[in-house]
Structure 1
Amino acid sequence: MVAPAVRRLLWVACCLLLPVQHAIADTLSASWAGGERGVSARFDGFWSAQRNALRLDRGWLYARNDADWLYLFVDLTADTGPDRGSGRDYLSLVFDVDGNGRITQDRDIAYGMYRDSIRLGLQRFHGPGRFTGLQPTRAKLAAGFGPSAASQRPHRVWELAIPLAEIGAKAGGGVRLGLRLHSADPQFTEERPPGLHSDFANLLRIQLAGPPMIMSVITARPDLAMPQSQRPRIGAIVGRVDSSVLRRLQPRVVLVPGDAGPSPDCPLPEGEPVDRRIAEGGFVELVYANRSSKRRGQGGWTVYCPDGSEAPIRALFSTQIPPTLPPTLPDGATAEWLDYHGNRLLGIITGLVGDPDMVQRYLDSEGEDWSIYRRIQGRGDTINYLVAE
């Protein structure tokens, strides 16, 4: 029988999933940009900090965003001819503004280049393969030619800045788009997906990043401590919860580069964790398919290579500022109610990790002077960390 609290989580998750899901060919997660940027079409530190890229047939696509702009970097490694782009090399993009998987007249838009110019114009769809003429836009485009992280041989690169307001998007939401890339030397045209100007069924998807939020640390008062004898026993904790349900309600982990990038033989965490653990000291650890991992510590996450060595990268955890702990001791009825819900939180932790020894590690990390309020806060934080991705 599903507990009421889990049923509520399932109901919220179902509400989040109500919009129709369309066929999506590929998905790319954007990183938070941290401030408005111009376009220079160079693979600089701004783009080297982006750890995710979408593989194209002849190159790579990168994406970042802030609250107002979507930044795209097209690393067209197969285009090694140094054309200037004026009427020769070109690109165009389409956006499914209303996200319904169909071309909507006067709603969905395309960006194209003015003839003999590295400048974008905006077109509105009149139907499959039919558009208005080019109109002014705030979107920006730059064409470059040089090396990148993917190839040291000089090649064509494009950088774009698209106003989120023009494509009906917001930070933290999603964008569905397609792009056409043309090279004059060597000659080729790549469309992702094919037929993007007449069919929106299989557009690419970019998951936009949301702004990081500040997490404060609250020190518990010793006079609110719960006696050791009142701590729950692991054997009394029962119940499991689907981590995918909780994960839909949680903020994301954002990777931030350190002074040096990771070594080539140290793959970074990607995809969803394959294992969720509580390590010695009560720290949450997420393990990925390539055996890299992230461990939650004070102030963020530490990233580890598959061989166990620490990677030269750190990760920040975004969450909401928790409320101030109550200043007074609870009365008998309130203490019993709080203790009940504290035990239920511990039951969720048990269900997520499935190992009594790991749960004991977490209990051992709870301070002797922690009040019931602090325990509830700590257990809630641990659940957040376990389902962060």
Structure 2
Amino acid sequence: MSDADDPDRVARAALTRVIEPGDERGGRWLREFGAPEVLARLAGPESGAVELTGATPRRLAAFRARAREAATSRDLAAIGEANGRFICPGDQEWPTQLDDLGDARPLGLWVRGRPDLRAWALRSVAIVGARACTPYGAHMAAVLGSGLAERGWVVVSGAAFGVDGAAHRGALGADGATVAVLACGVDTVYPRGHAELIGRIAEQGLLVGELPPGDHPTPSRFILRNRVIAALTRGTVVVEAQYRSGSLVTARCAQRLGRHTMGIPGPATSGLSAGVHELLRGEGVLVTDVDEIVELVGEMGELAPARRGPVLPRDLLDEVSTRVLEAVPARGAVDCARLARIAGTVPEETLGKLYGLHALGFVERHGDYWQLTDQAIRGSNARRGGS
């Protein structure tokens, strides 16, 4: 059956021109009456539209005007010409995790790209952050994007300047998978400066949006788009964000949906990291690399390696040998009896430990006296420098 022969699909495609993304009132109408009936009431006699409760007469009039102007066949033809498709709930490709949004879930999604969105979304991570990011933020986003792609994860972001673009480029540079969730039609290039990047994503990954072909973004649509990014993915990583950053909207939506929410720390003096740090003071989890992200969003047992400083030769000594070695002064030599008193051991045991330390290159003997080797002095300085 073609798209034009599926009443629910046709109605949902038409309603993407009528109802704004994330409109829970519209979502409730679809749940109660079904998409074809909602469209019929909006496009038909005014009395039918009045039965759609929860909207003011002025709002219903705006919906009706949009419904009358919707040209669904034209939109479906346009997405076909762009090598895309329109998917909706119930389709095999529909990512069912979007249903967690309840009445705010998308009416449907316009998609460009060959891969299957449902399959990709099952193993995806969102990387979001500031548009006017610092070089540090751009570097971290690119490194995380490439690292996740190399581990077989799909990188999801919004194709904006700054962190979003760096994350997409990192994934593409690793010949990996990436999805851009747009706040406009998937055949519309926005921002214009990312024309080449968006073109590459369409060829190598997926472009996804709630708005029909040709539609343009607005500030509110960017904010509402973020809920799709949060719901679509296993977790959201915020790289840099001010207190009022839209990427924090994504993170908080992810929290409400029970998704993993992560943040990359930055300098305490950086305003661009202030929002991330506030997130980390709450439910967000601090992460610094791909291993730590995968530990959260991956399968059981995908643990990040234990983090610790380098193992120094002194760390391998037993307790008594350590005490004897610490009793040897940094300069000059001392006899065994004095070392025993300082270390709290008997002379015989001290002498045995000194011979062991001598074999390991920590001390050297001069007659009845013992002193540190140059190697031991350097090791002691290095240890103090790392403490």
TM-score (norm 1): 0.23
Higher helix share: 2
Higher relative contact order (CA 8 A, sep 6+): 1
Higher strand share: 1
Larger-gyration structure (1/2): 2
